[in-house]
Amino acid sequence: MKDKVITEIQNKMAWLLNPSQLDELGKVMNAALSSIELVVKTENMVENTDLLSAFLSAKRIEGCSEKSIKYYESTVEAMIKKVVRPIREITTDHLRGYLSDYQTKRGSSKVTIDNMRRIFSSFFGWLEDEDYILKSPVRRIHKIKTDKPIKETLSDESLELLRDSCTEIRDLAMIDLLASTGMRVGELVGLDQADINFHERECVVFGKGGSERLVYFDARTKIHLMNYLESRTDSNLALFVTLGKPHERLQIGGVETRLREIGKRVDLQKVHPHKFRRSLATRAIDKGMPIEQVQHLLGHVKIDTTMHYAMVNQANVKNSHRKFIG
């Protein structure tokens, strides 16, 4: 802390003193402060806490999930503790240095660092909008270029293997519902039996930010869902419940674990709920569904998000090239 203060004073005096005088100033200050302990003003730390709390409250009002809010909080808090200065005095260089050190020491991926940059941008952008600071220090920190590997999807054959390996009608209904609707796993476990409209083969799900939308399922899913519900002997209102008593609502972790187990039976690796969602988006676009409709089906606010989900079939690119170009 003392070294930082001395260096800061030397930098501010550099326009007036020559290098040897600055060096002498540093020595004098070191000697003068040798028996003095410097600490950050408590009011600055209180202000930092207050500003962060106000930001998190704003995000909560905007509809952010508690999981996202916790991520915002931990990311910003870690930065504040490391930079050790009032939020109003944090500069672009401070943030660049923090991100660089974080990546070097932890070996973090570019995606992780860019996620942190986006959180800082949201935080300081909010402070600017609310007139707590004049200008966000993140403005000059550009988006970090990241690799975009092609993510795997589930083929028709893989889906059939998963269905064939199910030993419980519940699991079969669950796989069919994920595959035909592309809903998020959080939306799946939040469904009640009353949310299902079998006549129209549709159901209402509550997505991120409390938004609701209609999703649709196919005839096979309808049959398997009806068979599953008819086999139930419990009185739980949830659509999917645990297999063992007391048959409580199935949670996200339970769905993820079950899908991994089913995948291992047929030597399919990394079977998780999100892969069904990505597979639906890819298949829909591949078969000609307009991207705007896919966006609405998946409940995305921005169409760019939908494009990231959809992997274009290279064979169709080749056929389209022959059809439209040559």
Q: Which residues contact 302 (CB under 8 A, 6 or more apart)?
A: none
Query: Facing residues of 196 across strands?
Result: 203
Residue 36, pLDDT score: 79
pLDDT in tens, 231-287: 999 999 999 999 999 999 999 999 999 999 999 999 998 999 999 999 998 888 888
Give the range among 160-169, 282-291, 306-315 with minimum mean pLDDT: 306-315
Q: Which residues of 38-76 are buried (b: 16+ CB within 10 A; e: fewer)?
A: eeeeeeeeeebeebbeebbeebeeeebeeeebeebbebb
CB atoms within 10 A of CB 294: 22
Report the candidate in 112, 108, 134, 138 with the shortest Cα–Cα distance to residue 123. 138
Q: Which residues contact 310 (CB under 8 A, 6 or more apart)?
A: 278, 281, 282, 284, 285, 291, 294
Q: Could you tell me if 125 and 104 are in contact, meaning their C-beta atoms sit under 8 angstroms apart?
A: no
Which DSSP state fits 251?
A: P
Residue 257, pLDDT score: 95
Instruction: Kindly list the distances between the CA atom of residue 259 and the CA atoms of 94, 98, 256, in Å, as whole numbers in the listed order.
Output: 44, 39, 5
Whether the per-residue pLDDT at 306 is higher than 70: the answer is: yes
Spans of all domains in the chain: 2-32, 42-129, 156-320
In terms of Cβ atoms closer than 10 Å to its own Cβ (0-12, 13-18, 19+), residue 35 is exposed
Identical fold at 42-129 and 156-320? no
Instruction: Determine the Cα–Cα distance for residues 58 and 123; give it in Å rounded to an integer.
Output: 10
Residue 230, pLDDT score: 96
Whether the per-residue pLDDT at 45 is higher than 60: the answer is: no
Three-state SS at 232: coil
Q: Could you tell me if 285 and 291 are in contact, meaning their C-beta atoms sit under 8 angstroms apart?
A: yes
Instruction: Determine the Cα–Cα distance for residues 109 and 74; give it in Å rounded to an integer.
Output: 18
Helix or strand (DSSP H, E) at 307: helix 303-309
| pTM for the model | 0.65
When pLDDT is cut at 50, 70 and 90, the band that residue 129 belongs to is very high
CATH tag, 42-129: 1.10.150
Question: Between vectors from CA 264 to CA 231 and to CA 277, what angle results, nearest 5°?
Answer: 70
CATH tag, 156-320: 1.10.443.10
pLDDT in tens, 78-115: 999 999 889 989 999 999 999 999 999 999 999 899 99
